[in-house]
Structures are given as structure tokens and as C-alpha cells.
Amino acid sequence: MKKIFAAAALLLAMTACGGSQKKALPLEGTTWKLAKMETIPAKAIDAEADFFTLQFNAADTLVSGRTNCNRFFGKYELEGQKLEFENMGMTRMACPEMEYEDAFVKMLDEVDRFEIDGSALKLYDDKKVVAEFRAVENAPAKK
């Protein structure tokens, strides 16, 4: 009986130690969807599945994504937790609620670092969180 109790206690301890750790997803190769940003209401964020997204391509250090209206692209510089966006460009369609696109683009320009915790990405300007993203599964390829 003591051996069973000791084995159960050991198993419980091992599970408690390993079970609480979330493996952080990589910044690059993951599609990130905006989850929260002070100047953009949740209704606008959730209006379309690909609104306010980011994708980082490590091979050529290019970032791309979509606001609530236009697609954007550019270079990024990554050094440890430091992150800066450079030479950004975008399509130029006119849409309703352009103020949300403007706020999103301005936020990207201010980013200087990031943190990933599991499937959550936080972008910072100095020590202030300016946007929070969640990893999303890529849609299966259309045939």
C-alpha cells in the first residue's frame, strides 16, 4: 500500500511540474490574430477571421498581414526580444472605419519588443503593452 501511495504521489508531483508549463509558439511561422488593443473595439477585431493579423517569415525577414481593410507587408528586425518593423507598405483601398486601420498601423510603428507566453503574443512600446495577439491555425489549403 505504501508503494502504491508513493508511486501515486511521485506521478502527481511530476504531472504538476510539467503540466503547468506552456510551450511558447515561435514568433515566425505562426499566424497571429489581434485579440486586444486599446483603440480598436472587439467588435471590429472579430468582424472577419483575417482582420488584424500578422505573419512573420523568417527566411526573408518579411512581415505581412491585414488590417480591417488593407493588406500590409514590410521588413522586420528581430534581436532576442527586440522587434522593429521597417519599410512598411500596404494596399490603399478606402473602407469604413479607417480609424482602426490607422491605429493598428501606428501601433506597429511604435513596437520595440515582444513577449510570447504559450499561444499569446504581446507587443510593447517601451514597457507598455500596445497589443495582444493569439495564435490561430492556418486554414487548410483550398483545392
**Mean pLDDT for back-to-back runs of 10 residues, the chain (143 residues):** 43 42 84 97 95 96 97 96 96 94 97 97 97 82 44
The reply to whether 130 falls in a domain is yes
Taking the CA atoms of residue 21, residue 22, residue 28 and residue 33 in that order, the dihedral angle to the nearest 10 degrees is -150
| Per-residue pLDDT at 22 | 61
Cell 514568433, located at residue: 27
What does DSSP assign to residue 129? E
Cα angle 17, 18, 19; round to 5 = 100
The reply to whether 52 falls in a domain is yes
What is the extent of the structural domain holding 54?
25-136
Which alpha helices (DSSP H) does 20-58 contain, by range? 42-45
| Per-residue pLDDT at 24 | 83
The reply to whether 18 falls in a domain is no
Dihedral sign from CA coordinates of 23, 29, 35, 36 = positive
- Domain of 107, CATH number, reads 2.40.128.270
Domain count, the chain: 1
The reply to whether 34 falls in a domain is yes
Could you give the CA distance from residue 133 to residue 54 in angstroms, rounded to a whole number?
9
The reply to whether 12 falls in a domain is no
The reply to whether 143 falls in a domain is no
The reply to whether 15 falls in a domain is no
The reply to whether 3 falls in a domain is no
Could you give the CA distance from residue 143 to residue 44 in angstroms, rounded to a whole number?
30
Could you give the CA distance from residue 47 to residue 49 in angstroms, rounded to a whole number?
7
Cell 499569446, located at residue: 120
| Per-residue pLDDT at 58 | 95
User: What confidence tens digit (pLDDT) does each residue in 90-115 have?
Assistant: 999 999 999 999 999 999 999 999 99
Could you give the CA distance from residue 45 to residue 77 in angstroms, rounded to a whole number?
26
Could you give the CA distance from residue 96 to residue 82 in angstroms, rounded to a whole number?
33
